[in-house]
Structure 1
């Protein structure tokens, strides 16, 4: 929640959590947003890898998606400690009912959105995403968007991720936050 005595001096009193499909820029934009707000940044995927002692791809391969999502929920719950920070989540985190309820209750959720063709172009650059292994990225993203976008839309703030420098998206978020 944002509190302000006047619009020019608003303070952030809870975490800001970025949600959205893979490739939308949650981590990159999140780092820059945190820097602009002078807040700590946490990438939930990195926190999961540190907690598990293995990569997300290895967790998926060894234990499956359901086990990964359970660990993801526990890590995000730990990160939601009430202190202001910017948290970038994995694409599926907000889809989990318990994780979503926690984020909506204890943070300011921001849905970063972009067209699937743009996302497919971005994610093809890295071969580390388990849901894309051996599949066409654009087809997978279209299917995921059909399922996930109505759930992401539950986030109170919706910002389009620009096909421009990341600073444009950061500026759009700051404007949506009234900063």
Structure 2
């Protein structure tokens, strides 16, 4: 069988139907690109090999469970899996110090560090995604003040004017928003990593 002429979707279907050689060809076809991506982030060949293997273990498990959905290209999907495993690797290795919630820090200062390399950039993006999901769980008035302050950069006086409340009320809503956000982080077992 000539695997070289086949598209990724055809190779995947053959593998799911029991053709192990189709999987080997698929891996060999994309190995260089996926491994290079992982190595560029981790910058250690042995660790990159581990993450690369974990990537394909996860891909194979997804195929075997019948959960693969050909929505886009296989390579993009595989790179997304590799990306998530690289982030998991950094978190497990604790190569970057983690911060636990307390009253002494501002969540938004942590994710806006100026010195960023590829590793910290990936982690920051993931933290921002996780944090935005939690922010949406805040009560509407707290969510509004938080958005106006941190995402629009308004002063508390401007927030008070725009929302029709006193400055003290705006400050109070922000304080409760941050307290509630810390509680949500603890409930969801989320920690923030410094870059």
Query: TM-score under structure 2 normalisation?
Result: 0.26
Q: Larger % of strand: which?
A: 1
Q: Larger % of helix: which?
A: 2
Give the number of the structure with larger relative contact order, counting CA–CA contacts within 8 Å between residues 6 or more apart: 1
